[in-house]
C-alpha cells in the first residue's frame, strides 16, 4: 500500500517520471527474459499497441477529439519503415523508427488541419473516411507499396551479444523473440516517458481544458486551433511509431492489416483501460498483451474451432461487446473502476 | 440526339446518378436519426448490411427476390427499433464521445457477427431485372432496366419519406419530437415512441440501399457497406446533418463527381474524392451547405 | 389538485422544500414568489419533467408522481412553459395541430374555436411561428394548450415580456377562460399585482417554501407579504 503510494507520487516531478519509466522498463525487460518465447511475441506486439493507444489517449482522452482513423497513421509508419528497409538494408532501426514518426506526424498535420475545424461526429466521420480511403490508396500505389500483397523485408534479429546474454547462444530463434520484445518494451518506455511529461505540461493542461470547455479555454488565451492540430500531430506521430514497430516485428507491411478493424481494436482497448488517464492507457496496453491469448482461451473454452466462421471472428465480436458494455456501464474504464475502489477503501479507512 | 445520350459526359452522369441515389439514401438514413436523436449512427451501414443478409440469403433457398427484400426490410425495422431501445436510449444527454464509441462498437459486433454467421465471402444476388445496358444504335446508353429501377425506387422512397414527414399526423409528431422534445412531451406526444419510429424508418431506408448495392455491385459481404457508409456520411455532413434534402442532393453530387474522377483522372483517387469534398465544404460552410446559419450552442 | 410534502432537489440544491397546498377545481390559483423561489420547478414537477425527492401530487384521485410527462399531459394537464415553447419552425396551424394530436377531439372544431378566441392566430395561421411577436406567441402557446381541452392549465409567467396593456388583457382572457371552460388554472407570475387581480387563491413561495397560502384577497391585503415577498408597495 505504502509503496504504491510512493510510486504514484513520483509522477508529480519530472525526475520522478523518469524514474518511473526506467523502473517500468527494467521490470518489463526482466519479464521478457523470464517468460516463454511465445509470450514474448505477445509482449512485443502489445508494446506497439500501447504506443498507438497512448497516442489515441492523447487525442481522444485529453483533447476530446474522437478518432477512428489512427490505424491509417499506423499504416503510414509501417510503409515508411518497409520502403526504407527495402532501400537501405543495413541502416539501423532507429532511423526507420524516427522516419516513421516523422511521416506519421506529417500525415497527422495534413489530416489534422482540416479535421480540427470539425467537431464531434463530423471529426470522427472524417477520420473514418480517412482510414477507409487509406487502404485502397496504399494498395493502388503498385510497386512502391507492393499493392495488395504488401511489402516484405527483414524483421528484427538479435545481435550476437544479446543472444549470448539471454542464455542459449545456439538458439537464435528464441533470442530473436527476446530481442524483439526487449526493443519493443524499451521503445514503449521511451514513448511513455514523453507522454507522461506532456501530460503534466502546460500543453497537456491546455488540451484537457479545450476538451472540457473550449469556450473557457479560448477566453483564457488558449489557441484552440493550435492545441487541436498539435494533439493530432503528436497522436499521429505515436501511431506512426507504433506502425513502424508492428512492421519491424513482423517483417511485413500490408495495407489491410491497418484498416478500420485495427482502429476499433485500439479504441476498444483504450475505452476498456480508461479514457483520459495515462494509467488507463497502460492498462489498455497490458490488455493488448493478453487479448489474443484470452480470446484463444475463450474459443477453447466454448469448444470453438479457431478457423471456423465464429472462431475466427470471436475477437471482433468480443471487442465490440466490450466497447459497448464498458461505455454504457462504466465509461471511465478499468482505471476509473480502480480509482473508485481505492476511494471507497480510503473512505473506509478514514472512518 | 442519340450521340448526345451516349456521349462520355452523359454516360458518366448516368452511372454517377445511379450510384449517387444510393449514397443519398444512406445520407437520408443518417440525417433522419441525427435530427431526432443527435446520434451519428456509425453502425448504420453495418445494420443495413446485417438486415440485408437476414432476408437476401433466403434467395439461396429459392425464395422470390422481392419476398427476400420484404423480409430484409422487416428485419431492418426490428433491428432499428431494438437498437434504439437497448443501445441508444441510455446515451441521450450523455457526452458525444459516448455515443460515437458505442455505435462504433456496435459496428464491430455486426460485421464480425455477420462474418461468423454467413462467412466473409461475397454472395452474388441474382438480379430480378436485367443489368445489361441499353444500346442506341451501335453505342451503349449507360442505363439498364435495373439501374432505372435503382434510380426510380430510390427517388420514390425519398419522396415517400418526405411526404410522411410533411403531410401525415405521425410526420408532424416526428418533426416536433426532433425539434422540441420537451414541449412535445408536454403536449402529450409520445416522444420516445417517435424516436424509436425514427430509427425504424431510417434503418429500413438504409437496408433498402444495402440490398440495391449488393445486387448491383460486388455482392453481399460483411464489410460491403463500409465504403458507401463513408460516402453517405460525407453527403450528410455536407448537407449539414440536419437537412434531408441537402443530404440527398449532396449524395447525388458525390456519386456523379466520383464517376468523373474515375473516368477522367484515375480510379485510385475515387476513395479520396469525397474526403476532399467534405474538407472543402467544411472550410466554406462549417454548418453545412444547405443549412441556415445557426449560432454556436454553449 | 393536492400537493403534499413535495421536496425537489437538483443535486445539493433544494429547489422545493416540503410544499403542501391544494388547488381547487375551476379556480385560478396564483403561485407567486421572487426569482429562484421554485415556481418553475413546481410546475415542471407536476408535469413530470422533474422527479421529486419525496411527496405526492394527486389530481382527481390519480397520483402523478412517477408518471411520464406525455401520460400526465394526456390526463388533462396542459402546460404552457416558461418562454412559451412554440415551435418556431412550425406554422401557427401546425403548432395548434400538434397540440391536438394526442387527444381524441374534432380538430377542425378545435381550430375554429381557438381562432375565434384568438383572432390574430386565425389571420396568421399559415405564418411560421418564428415570425410572430411575443404577445402573439403567448397566445399561440395558450391556444395550443387549450385546444386539447385540459382540465388543469399550468401557466408559467404568461405576462413575461409583454407590454402592461397586453399583459392585462391576457389576464382578463385567462379569467374568462377559467369561468367558461370550467378550467382549473395554476398561474405562476412575477407580476403579482396582475395575477392577484384575477386569481381566486394564492400561494406564496420563498426559497422553495410556502410562506403564505390563502384567498387572493387575503394575500393581497397582507402588508407584510406585500412588502417582503411580492415587492408591492402602496
Ligand atoms: N436544472 C437545474 N439544475 C440545478 N438547479 C436548478 C435547475 N433548475 C432550477 N434550479 C435552481 O432551483 C431554484 C429554483 O428555480 P426555478 O426555476 O424553479 O425558480 P423560479 O421561481 O421559476 O424563478 P424565476 O422567477 O426566475 O423563473 C433556483 O435556485 C435555480 O437555480
Ligand atoms: Mg421560473
Residue C112 cell numbers, joined: 375554429
B193 Cα to chain C: minimum distance (Å): 11
Q: Range of C48's domain?
A: 1-76+152-234
Looking at per-residue confidence, does C124 or A7 come out higher?
C124
Assess whether C36 and C93 both reside in one domain: no
- Kindly list the domain boundaries of chain A, sorted by start residue: 2-258, 265-274+283-351
Assess whether C162 and C234 both reside in one domain: yes
**Looking at beta carbons, which residues of chain B come within 8 Å of C98?**
172-173, 176, 184, 187, 189
Number of inter-chain CB pairs under 8 A, A vs B? 140
| Chain B interface includes A122 (CB < 8 A) | yes
Smallest CA-to-CA distance from B195 within B168, B163, B173, B166 is with B173
Residue A89 has a pLDDT of: 80
Tell me which of C149, C166, C187 is where a domain ends.
C149
Residue B61 cell numbers, joined: 433457398
For chain B, positions 119-178, list CB contacts with chain C under 8 A.
Answer: 169, 172-173, 175-176
Q: Report pLDDT digits (tens) over C69-115.
A: 999 999 999 999 998 889 999 999 999 999 999 999 899 999 999 99
CATH of the domain at C179: 3.40.50.300
A25, A66, B112, C88, C234 from A125: Cα distances, Å? 37, 9, 21, 30, 64
Looking at per-residue confidence, does C189 or A312 come out higher?
C189
Nearest CA to ligand 1 atom 4: C10
User: What's the mean pLDDT when you consider all of chain A?
Assistant: 85
Assess whether C20 and C111 both reside in one domain: no
Contacts of residue B78, Cβ cutoff 8 Å, sequence gap at least 6: none
Looking at per-residue confidence, does C81 or A164 come out higher?
C81
The nearest alpha carbon in chain C to B172 belongs to C98
Residue A47 has a pLDDT of: 92
B interface test, pick of A70, A133, A224 with most B CB neighbours within 10 Å:
A133
Assess whether C160 and C234 both reside in one domain: yes
Assess whether C202 and C214 both reside in one domain: yes
Which residues lie across from C204 on neighbouring strands? Answer: C32, C212
| Chain B interface includes C89 (CB < 8 A) | yes
Q: Is residue C111 part of a domain?
A: yes
Assess whether C159 and C50 both reside in one domain: yes
Kindly tell me whether chain C and chain B come into contact, counting contact as 3+ Cβ pairs under 8 Å.
Answer: yes
B66 Cα to chain A: minimum distance (Å): 28
Name chain B's partners: 3 or more CB pairs within 8 A: A, C
Mean pLDDT value of segment C115-140: 92
Residue B251 has a pLDDT of: 93
pLDDT averages per 10-residue partition of chain B, 298 residues: 79 92 95 88 95 93 94 97 95 85 92 92 89 84 90 93 91 92 95 95 96 90 90 88 87 93 84 82 64 44
Confidence of residue A246 (pLDDT cuts 50, 70, 90): very high
Cα separation, C125 vs C131, whole angstroms? 11
Contact B146, B127 (CB under 8 A): yes
B37, B287, C89 from B296: Cα distances, Å? 18, 10, 18
Contact B266, A142 (CB under 8 A): no
Assess whether C14 and C62 both reside in one domain: yes
Contact B220, B49 (CB under 8 A): yes
Tell me which of C149, C184, C200 is where a domain ends.
C149
Confidence of residue A169 (pLDDT cuts 50, 70, 90): low
A163, A170, A245, C24, C111 from A173: Cα distances, Å? 9, 9, 19, 90, 86
Tell me which of C149, C170, C198 is where a domain ends.
C149
The nearest alpha carbon in chain B to A267 belongs to B101
A202 Cα to chain B: minimum distance (Å): 24
Would you identify the CATH topology of the domain B2-284?
ABC transporter involved in vitamin B12 uptake, BtuC (1.10.3470)
Assess whether C169 and C191 both reside in one domain: yes
Pocket-forming residues, ligand 1, beta carbon under 6 Å: C 10, 13, 15, 33, 35-41, 190
Neighbours of B110 (CB within 10 A): 26
Pairing of strands C184-189, C152-156: parallel
Ligand 1 atom with the shortest distance to the CA of C34: 25
Assess whether C59 and C115 both reside in one domain: no
Residue A111 has a pLDDT of: 87
Residue B295 has a pLDDT of: 42
The nearest alpha carbon in chain A to B222 belongs to A313
Confidence of residue C52 (pLDDT cuts 50, 70, 90): very high
Contact C211, C229 (CB under 8 A): yes
Residue C233 has a pLDDT of: 58
Q: Is residue C81 part of a domain?
A: no
- What's the number of CA atoms in the CB half-sphere (13 Å) around residue A264? 29
- What's the number of CA atoms in the CB half-sphere (13 Å) around residue B195? 26
Assess whether C94 and C60 both reside in one domain: no
Q: Report pLDDT digits (tens) over A172-189.
A: 778 888 888 999 999 999
DSSP result, A319-346: HHHHHHHHHHH-TTHHHHHHHHHHHHHH
Q: Is residue C123 part of a domain?
A: yes
Ligand 1 atom with the shortest distance to the CA of C82: 27
Smallest CA-to-CA distance from A258 within A59, A73, A51, A56 is with A73
Cα separation, A326 vs B27, whole angstroms? 29
Amino acid at each position: 500500500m505504502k509503496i504504491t503510494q510512493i510510486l504514484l507520487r513520483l509522477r508529480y516531478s519530472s525526475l520522478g517520471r523518469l524514474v518511473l519509466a526506467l523502473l517500468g522498463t527494467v521490470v518489463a525487460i526482466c519479464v521478457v527474459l523470464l517468460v516463454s518465447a511465445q509470450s514474448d511475441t505477445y509482449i512485443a506486439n502489445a508494446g506497439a499497441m500501447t504506443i498507438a493507444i497512448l497516442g489515441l489517449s492523447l487525442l481522444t482522452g485529453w483533447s476530446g477529439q474522437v478518432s477512428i482513423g489512427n490505424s491509417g497513421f499506423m499504416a503510414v509508419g509501417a510503409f515508411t519503415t518497409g520502403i526504407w528497409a527495402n532501400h537501405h538494408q543495413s541502416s539501423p532501426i532507429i532511423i526507420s523508427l524516427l522516419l516513421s514518426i516523422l511521416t506519421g506526424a506529417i500525415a497527422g498535420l495534413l489530416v489534422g488541419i482540416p479535421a480540427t475545424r470539425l467537431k464531434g461526429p463530423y471529426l470522427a466521420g472524417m477520420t473514418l473516411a480517412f482510414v477507409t480511403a487509406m487502404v485502397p490508396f496504399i494498395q493502388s500505389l503498385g510497386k512502391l507499396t507492393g499493392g495488395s500483397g504488401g511489402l516484405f523485408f527483414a524483421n528484427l534479429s538479435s545481435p550476437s551479444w544479446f543472444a549470448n546474454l539471454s542464455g542459449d547462444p545456439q538458439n537464435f530463434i528464441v533470442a530473436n523473440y527476446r530481442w524483439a520484445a526487449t526493443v519493443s518494451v524499451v521503445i514503449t518506455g521511451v514513448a511513455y516517458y514523453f507522454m507522461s511529461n506532456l501530460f503534466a505540461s502546460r500543453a497537456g493542461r491546455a488540451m484537457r481544458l479545450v476538451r472540457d470547455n473550449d469556450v473557457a479555454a479560448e477566453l483564457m488565451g488558449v489557441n484552440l486551433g493550435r492545441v487541436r492540430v498539435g494533439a493530432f500531430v503528436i497522436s499521429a506521430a505515436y501511431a506512426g511509431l507504433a506502425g513502424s514497430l508492428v512492421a519491424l516485428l513482423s517483417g511485413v507491411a500490408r495495407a489491410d492489416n491497418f484498416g478500420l478493424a485495427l482502429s476499433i481494436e485500439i479504441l476498444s482497448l483504450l475505452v476498456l483501460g480508461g479514457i483520459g488517464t495515462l494509467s488507463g492507457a497502460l492498462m489498455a496496453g497490458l490488455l493488448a498483451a493478453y487479448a489474443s491469448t484470452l480470446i484463444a482461451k475463450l474459443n477453447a473454452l466454448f469448444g470453438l474451432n479457431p478457423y471456423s466462421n465464429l472462431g475466427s471472428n470471436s475477437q471482433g465480436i468480443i471487442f465490440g461487446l466490450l466497447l459497448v458494455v464498458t461505455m454504457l456501464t462504466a465509461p471511465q474504464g478499468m482505471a476509473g473502476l480502480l480509482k473508485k475502489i481505492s476511494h471507497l477503501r480510503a473512505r473506509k479507512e478514514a472512518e | 440526339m442519340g450521340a448526345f445520350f451516349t456521349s462520355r459526359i452523359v454516360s458518366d452522369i448516368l452511372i454517377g446518378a445511379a450510384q449517387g441515389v444510393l449514397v443519398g439514401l444512406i445520407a437520408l438514413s443518417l440525417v433522419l436519426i441525427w435530427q431526432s436523436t443527435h446520434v451519428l449512427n456509425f453502425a448504420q451501414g453495418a445494420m443495413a448490411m446485417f438486415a440485408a443478409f437476414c432476408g437476401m440469403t433466403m434467395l439461396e433457398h429459392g425464395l422470390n427476390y422481392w419476398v427476400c427484400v420484404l423480409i430484409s426490410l422487416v428485419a431492418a425495422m426490428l433491428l432499428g427499433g431494438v437498437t434504439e431501445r437497448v443501445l441508444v436510449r441510455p446515451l441521450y444527454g450523455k457526452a458525444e464521445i459516448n455515443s460515437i464509441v458505442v455505435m462504433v462498437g456496435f459496428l464491430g459486433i455486426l460485421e464480425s457477427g455477420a462474418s461468423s454467421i454467413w462467412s466473409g465471402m461475397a454472395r452474388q444476388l441474382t438480379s430480378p431485372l436485367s443489368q445489361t445496358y441499353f444500346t442506341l444504335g451501335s453505342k451503349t446508353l449507360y442505363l439498364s432496366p435495373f439501374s432505372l429501377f435503382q434510380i426510380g425506387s430510390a427517388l420514390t422512397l425519398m419522396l415517400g419519406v418526405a411526404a410522411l414527414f410533411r403531410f401525415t399526423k405521425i410526420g408532424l409528431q416526428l418533426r416536433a419530437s426532433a425539434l422540441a422534445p420537451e414541449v412535445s412531451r408536454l403536449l402529450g406526444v409520445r416522444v420516445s415512441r417517435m424516436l424509436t419510429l425514427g430509427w425504424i424508418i431510417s434503418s429500413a431506408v438504409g437496408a433498402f440501399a444495402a440490398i440495391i448495392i449488393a445486387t448491383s455491385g460486388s455482392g453481399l459481404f460483411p464489410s460491403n457497406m463500409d465504403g458507401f457508409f463513408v460516402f453517405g456520411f460525407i453527403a450528410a455532413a455536407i448537407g449539414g446533418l440536419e437537412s434531408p434534402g441537402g443530404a440527398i442532393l449532396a449524395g447525388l453530387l458525390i456519386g456523379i463527381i466520383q464517376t468523373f474522377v474515375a473516368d477522367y483522372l484515375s480510379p485510385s483517387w475515387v476513395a479520396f474524392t469525397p474526403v476532399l469534398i467534405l474538407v472543402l465544404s467544411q472550410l466554406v460552410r462549417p454548418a453545412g451547405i444547405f443549412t441556415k446559419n445557426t449560432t454556436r450552442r454553449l | 389538485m393536492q400537493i403534499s410534502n413535495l421536496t425537489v432537489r437538483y443535486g445539493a440544491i433544494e429547489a422545493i422544500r416540503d410544499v403542501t397546498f391544494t388547488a381547487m377545481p375551476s379556480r385560478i390559483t396564483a403561485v407567486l414568489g421572487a426569482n429562484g423561489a421554485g415556481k418553475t420547478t413546481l410546475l415542471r414537477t407536476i408535469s413530470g419533467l422533474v422527479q421529486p425527492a419525496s411527496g405526492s401530487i394527486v389530481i382527481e384521485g390519480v397520483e402523478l408522481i412517477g408518471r411520464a410527462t406525455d401520460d400526465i399531459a394526456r390526463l388533462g394537464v396542459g402546460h404552457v412553459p416558461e418562454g412559451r415553447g412554440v415551435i418556431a419552425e412550425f406554422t401557427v396551424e401546425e403548432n395548434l395541430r400538434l397540440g391536438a394530436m394526442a387527444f381524441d377531439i374534432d380538430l377542425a372544431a378545435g381550430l375554429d374555436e381557438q381562432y375565434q378566441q384568438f383572432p390574430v392566430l386565425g389571420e396568421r395561421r399559415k405564418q411560421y411561428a418564428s415570425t410572430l411577436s411575443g404577445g402573439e406567441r403567448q397566445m399561440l402557446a395558450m391556444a395550443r394548450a387549450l385546444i386539447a381541452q385540459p382540465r388543469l392549465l399550468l401557466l408559467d409567467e404568461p405576462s413575461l415580456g409583454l407590454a402592461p396593456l397586453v399583459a392585462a388583457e391576457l389576464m382578463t382572457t385567462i379569467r374568462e377562460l377559467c369561468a367558461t371552460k370550467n378550467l382549473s388554472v395554476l398561474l405562476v407570475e412575477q407580476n403579482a399585482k396582475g395575477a392577484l387581480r384575477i386569481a381566486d387563491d394564492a400561494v406564496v413561495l420563498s426559497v422553495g417554501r410556502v410562506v403564505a397560502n390563502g384567498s387572493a384577497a387575503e394575500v393581497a391585503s397582507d402588508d407584510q407579504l406585500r412588502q417582503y415577498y411580492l415587492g408591492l408597495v402602496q
